[in-house]
């Protein structure tokens, strides 16, 4: 059977992608951020997962405002990075695992989640940047990826509780997959940030650190937050933290914290990385 070996939260800021390509790991601005990924890279080297389920939000690339899906899953053989460019290292398409995708789709359907099923899907920085920052030396991707895209662009966006419950079902689906695979779940995005409007540049370090604390074993306090709470406390784009709660749902009731790091600001964002291990 497949084993869910861990969960990771990561920033997906486009500027991180270009800083990774330029290998600015020891640059004074970037060092406190990149140093936070060293234990994650070492853990990946040791565990060598086969598949990443990446819970991310599309930023208007595959889903534009004319057609937005609340929950979408990729079921393709590969996914092209069609993001802005920014001079990123050129990489082959991200390989998919359509069989696992269809297993998850069937399982989620039984749990009464109605997903948009994408047999073609372009992916953006929300999915690609976390892969880059964790495997900066890769010439080809060392894992297969199943993308799960959650709407944070067009309101109403799904609630934190709904996302957590979706994550619970994703976790159960992974653990019921009859293949000997090691699976890691990513929740990308966050933390507090607002990219436009009067509060552009808003970051709430106190909220971010409290969120990182509670997601370990007081996640119910976070799933009680409304979209308005997120926007008020974490800025309009801080609502991306529902990706983290989806990942957390997949890991089951209890987790062990293996590593975390927070640094702000990076670009316009409070950036947190966490490595969590499910506890049976
Ligand atoms: C930034 C953060 C994001 O989540 C994003 O999608 C784009 C940019 C930023 O901090 O610059
Ligand atoms: Fe984003």
The CA distance from 84 to 149, in Å, is: 18
List the residue whose alpha carbon is closest to atom 9 of ligand 1: 268
Res. 84 pLDDT band, cuts 50 70 90: low
Domain borders along the chain are 3-272
Return the ligand 1 atom nearest residue 269 CA. Answer: 10
pLDDT tens, residue by residue, 197-243 = 999 999 999 999 999 999 999 999 999 999 999 999 999 999 999 99
Report CA Rg, the chain.
17
Encode pLDDT of 147-172 as tens digits. Answer: 999 999 999 999 999 999 999 999 99
Task: List alpha helices for 186-226, DSSP H.
Answer: 205-217, 219-223
CA 126 to centroid of ligand 2, rounded, Å = 6
59, 103, 125, 263: the catalytic one is 125
Phi, psi (degrees; rounded to nearest 5) at 250: -65, -25
What DSSP assignment string belongs to 7-41? EEEE---HHHHHHHHTT-TTSTTTHHHHGGGHHHH
| 237 Cβ below 6 A of ligand 1 | yes
Length of the chain: 280
Measured by CA distance, the residue closest to atom 5 of ligand 1 is 13
For ligand 1, what atom is nearest to the CA of residue 15?
A: 11
- Asked, as a colleague might, if the bond just before 18 is cis with ω within 30 of 0, I would say no
| pLDDT for position 118 | 98
Residue that the structure tokens 């509670």 belong to: 214
Tell me if residue 78 is catalytic. no
Neighbours of ion ligand 2 (CB under 5 A): 189
Question: Residue 80, class by beta-carbon neighbours within 10 Å (0-12 exposed, 13-18 middle, 19+ buried)?
Answer: middle
Closest approach atom of ligand 1 to CA 189: 4
pLDDT computed for residue 280 by the predictor: 81
Q: Which CATH number is 3-272's, of 3.30.1120.130, 3.10.25.10, 3.40.830.10, 1.10.4190.10?
A: 3.40.830.10
125 is catalytic: yes
Instruction: Provide the mean pLDDT of the chain.
Output: 97
| Contact in structure between 25 and 202 (CB atoms under 8 Å) | no
């Amino acid at each position: 059977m497949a084993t869910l070996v861990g969960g990771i939260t990561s920033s997906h800021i486009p500027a991180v992608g270009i800083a990774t390509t330029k290998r600015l790991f020891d640059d004074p601005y970037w060092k406190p951020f990149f140093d936070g990924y060293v234990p994650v890279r070492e853990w990946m080297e040791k565990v060598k997962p086969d598949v990443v389920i990446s819970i991310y939000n599309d930023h208007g690339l595959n889903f534009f405002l004319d057609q937005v899906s609340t929950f979408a899953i990729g079921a393709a053989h590969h996914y092209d990075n069609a993001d802005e460019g920014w001079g990123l290292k050129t990489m082959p398409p991200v390989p998919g695992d359509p069989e696992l995708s269809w297993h998850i789709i069937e399982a989620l359907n039984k749990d009464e989640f109605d997903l948009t099923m994408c047999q073609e899907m372009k992916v953006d920085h929300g999915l690609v940047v976390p892969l880059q920052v964790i495997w900066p030396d890769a010439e080809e991707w060392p894992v297969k990826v199943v993308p799960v895209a959650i709407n944070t662009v067009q309101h109403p966006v799904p609630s934190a509780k709904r996302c957590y419950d979706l994550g619970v079902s994703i976790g159960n689906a992974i653990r019921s997959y009859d293949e000997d695979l090691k699976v890691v779940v990513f929740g990308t995005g966050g933390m507090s940030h607002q990219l436009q409007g009067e509060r552009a540049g808003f970051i709430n370090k106190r909220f971010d650190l409290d969120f990182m604390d509670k997601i370990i074993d007081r996640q119910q306090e976070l799933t009680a937050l409304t979209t308005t709470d997120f926007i008020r406390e974490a800025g309009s784009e801080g609502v991306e933290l529902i990706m983290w709660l989806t990942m957390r749902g997949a890991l089951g009731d209890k987790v062990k914290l293996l590593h975390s790091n927070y640094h702000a600001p990076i670009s316009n964002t409070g950036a947190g990385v966490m490595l969590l291990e499910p506890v049976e």
